Amino acid sequence: MGLFDLKTKVIIKNASLITVAILLLVTQAHGQENITELPVTAYLSAQKGNSDVKFGDLMECLVEPHLIANVGSPVEGIIESILVGRGDVVKKGQLIAKLKSSVEVSTLNLKRAHWEFGQRKVARNKELFSQNLISESEKDELVTQTEIAKLEFELQQEIVNELYIKSPLTGVVLTRFLAPGEQVGQGKILSVAQLNPLNVEVVVPAVMFDAIKNGLTGNVSLASEGDVDHKARVVAVDPIIDAASRTFAVRLQLLNPHNKIPAGINCLVRFNKK
């Protein structure tokens, strides 16, 4: 018999789901850092379904993305193009958006021309210096001017690079907040979720605090897959016990190659003895 065939299957209470919705709305209203973790801790704290279980019993859990990155731009500008859309898989370092850059690129070409001219000038005067036809100070001035031109070119190259927005992680595009032609400043262009690995969030009774350690494994059963179990490993144990519910939060990490397991679904977990 599979985990979800048990008649004692735990159902997450409607009040908890309402709490989740409110937390997500509040989080969106106040914005997030560039790379954030979902506010599941408060959600899990609101659950009471695991308060009476013991080690080896089924416990309610929630599958969440490992990370969510709200991707913006380090500089202000006008969006020229966005190269990905909702649901697209992106790789870390992949170009996902571009800002208009005609002025910056023209300046870059000008800086390159100055640097290359300086290099040719130094090369032409190298033989003159060897023949003592120019002084040491004149040679030093030429070399220094060329080095400054090189640094100015490299600085402008970095300015141009900032106009090409790349994904900070490998994952899936969740939302596009802006469109080509819109101005971007400190806001978000799009959000990307890392789905491999996944986080499995669970609240555990305080009596199990000494038994749950990093590295402990658990069998995770997903609502969408019936009796199929997935092996997950504990990667974080909350060192603080909630006084009201007498529970603490535990995070397991679940490998998810090819993003086959969706995030945001309910699950059941049973911890394994070492």
How much of the chain, in percent, has pLDDT values that exceed 70? 79
pLDDT band, very low/low/confident/very high, at 271 (cuts 50, 70, 90): very high
* pLDDT at res. 25: 36
* pLDDT at res. 215: 93
Residues 196, 158 share a domain:
no
pLDDT band, very low/low/confident/very high, at 162 (cuts 50, 70, 90): very high
pLDDT band, very low/low/confident/very high, at 226 (cuts 50, 70, 90): low
| Unique residue bearing structure tokens 């065939």 | 5
Tell me the average pLDDT across 202-209.
Answer: 92
- 223 in a structural domain: yes
- pLDDT at residue 217 is higher than 90: yes
The CATH number of residue 158's host domain is: 1.10.287
Give residues with Cβ within 8 angstroms of 97, minimum separation 6: 71, 73, 79, 81, 82, 83, 84, 164, 165, 189, 190
| Unique residue bearing structure tokens 């914005």 | 31
- pLDDT at residue 175 is higher than 90: yes
* pLDDT at res. 9: 36
Residues 267, 195 share a domain:
yes
Range of the domain at 14: 3-68+191-271
- pLDDT at residue 29 is higher than 60: no
Q: Counting Cβ atoms within 10 Å, is residue 171 exposed (0-12), middle (13-18) or buried (19+)?
A: buried
* pLDDT at res. 51: 58
Residues 198, 153 share a domain:
no
d(CA 7, CA 10): 9
d(CA 235, CA 202): 12
- 181 in a structural domain: no
- 51 in a structural domain: yes
- pLDDT at residue 88 is higher than 80: yes
Residue that is last in its domain, among 145, 162, 179: 162
Residues 208, 266 share a domain:
yes
Structure tokens at 102: 């005609």
Task: Tell me the per-residue pLDDT of 229-266, one tens digit each, with 9 for 90 and over.
Answer: 899 999 999 999 999 999 999 999 999 998 999 999 99
- pLDDT at residue 108 is higher than 60: yes
Tell me the average pLDDT across 103-107.
Answer: 95
Report pTM: 0.69
Tell me the average pLDDT across 150-165.
Answer: 96
Tell me the average pLDDT across 22-26.
Answer: 38
Residue that is last in its domain, among 125, 146, 162: 162
- 73 in a structural domain: no
- 78 in a structural domain: no
Residues 116, 54 share a domain:
no
- 186 in a structural domain: no
Residues 112, 156 share a domain:
yes
- 143 in a structural domain: yes
Residues 195, 153 share a domain:
no
The CATH number of residue 46's host domain is: 2.40.30.170
Residues 257, 198 share a domain:
yes
How much of the chain, in percent, has pLDDT values that exceed 90? 64
- 108 in a structural domain: yes
* pLDDT at res. 52: 64
Residues 106, 35 share a domain:
no
* pLDDT at res. 49: 53
* pLDDT at res. 187: 86
Q: How many domains does the chain have?
A: 2
Strand partners, 67: 194
In three-state secondary structure terms, 100 is coil
Residues 256, 121 share a domain:
no
* pLDDT at res. 36: 45
Residues 59, 124 share a domain:
no
Tell me the average pLDDT across 42-54.
Answer: 53
* pLDDT at res. 46: 44
